[in-house]
Structure 1
Amino acid sequence: MSLNTIEQNRTRQSLTDYDEIWLFGYGSLIYKVDFPFIEKVSASIKGWQRRLWQGSHDHRGTPDNPGRVATLIPAGKATCVGIAFRVTHEVFDHLDHREKNGYLRHEVDIFFNGSSLVKKGLVYIASQDNKAFLGHLHDKELAEHIHRSSGPSGENRDYVFQLADALRAMNVVDEHVFAIEQQLKNM
């Protein structure tokens, strides 16, 4: 798979098949909402966990020194809490470009927290077979990698700090993100 997934995403789903489109955000889409939305609510998806295992060659790193950003890893009975945004078709021109570094749109069931409501929606996932995937490192090594990375969108460590703060504001405990945040604070 190419690093640039814009064209792949444009052909993955027919957005006109959706009466309403819900987008699930679990990383920077939680705290950097640079797209218009109709509605936003706390939500979750099942069978996935958030991990800082995706390389960022274009935002939080460079081609020579990619940063680390969140992706989702299949995880049996795990639940990943984030934000669901109700959006229009037009927002995907921007989002496909923003999430172009190995992320593909996938259809998922989105569970709306605090209710029994479940709707089909879309989420961007950078799977393990994409060229930008960096994979697992022990917490200290992962934090060291993040600490020395930066790109056009800023320091990689700021990504982790902003994500951790956003999760805390939502009353979400993410042991992985918080462990990396703590390692970074100790440096």
Structure 2
Amino acid sequence: MSSAHALMLQGAARSARLLEETQAQWRASGDDLLLFAYGSLIWRPDFEVEQALPARVQGYHRVLRMRSRVNRGSPEAPGLVLALVSGGSCRGLVYRVARHDAEAVLTALWAREMPTGVYDPKWLVCDTPHGPVRALGFTLSRRSANWCGALSDSELLHIFQHARGRYGTTLDYLLRTVDGLRAHGIRDRELERQARLAAAHGLCTPTI
């Protein structure tokens, strides 16, 4: 068995274990399922939402610094997706999913966000207009093999030009997220800078 295949199996096993743990934690709450959306879930949730509230999480911030070898890239040309990492704060949305839909939503969400088990799902305290709530969010440790740290603009441009996965390109993911955030009155200065960088090099149409 190759080392890459072994890692894939380990990731799948970790993903399955985390899904079971998260399902058990949610069932114990006896409530609807609450999810914190900070990236693609804002513009493509793919499930029915009973309620969506603006929210802020303290202690984590959104960054485009997680390697993607499935959704927005490939093993040969890894792309990038967003993750929540420790420090600062992050504005996004809290979705309320009806309890009778929650099992199916969690399973589908895991297939989408956790095919290789890279995220660390956590129940985060989210400040909303209705008060604080605990919602599930997908965080990333800086010790993860998928954490890439700071990238130069030339490295970003190379990824924007070449990275494509099962859901499309990293650049499309970035632009859709910027638009989705702005539609909810959220401005992410670094993501917007990256979008302007791509536009300045002719990779997309300037929209900001």
TM over 0.5: yes
Structure 2 unmatched ranges of 5 or more: 1-6, 202-208
Alpha-carbon distance in structure 1 between the residues aligned to 2:41 and 2:153: 23
What corresponds to 1:134 in structure 2? 148
What corresponds to 1:118 in structure 2? 132
Work out which of the residue numbers 66, 77, 83 in structure 1 matches 2:78.
Answer: 66
Alpha-carbon distance in structure 1 between the residues aligned to 2:132 and 2:139: 20
SS in 2 for 1:33: coil
Alpha-carbon distance in structure 2 between the residues aligned to 1:118 and 1:149: 38
What corresponds to 2:90 in structure 1? 80
Amino acid at match of 1:134: C
Relative contact order: is structure 1 or structure 2 higher (C-alpha 8 Å, sep ≥ 6)? 1
What corresponds to 2:19 in structure 1? 10
Q: Give the 4+ runs in structure 1 shifted more than 4 A.
A: none
Structure 1 unmatched ranges of 5 or more: none
Higher helix share: 2
1:122-146, CA deviations, whole angstroms, 9 ceiling, x for partnerless residues? 1011322333222221344323323
Alpha-carbon distance in structure 2 between the residues aligned to 1:103 and 1:152: 18
State the 1:26 CA deviation.
0.5
- Root-mean-square deviation (CA, aligned residues, Å) is 1.8
State the 1:97 CA deviation.
1.2
- For the pair shown, the structure with the greater C-alpha radius of gyration is 2
State the 1:48 CA deviation.
1.2
Equivalent runs, 1:148-159 vs 2, <5 Å: 148-159=162-173
What corresponds to 2:206 in structure 1? none
Alpha-carbon distance in structure 2 between the residues aligned to 1:136 and 1:8: 30
What corresponds to 2:204 in structure 1? none
The change in CA–CA distance for 1:68 and 1:12 in structure 2 (over 3 A counts) is: same
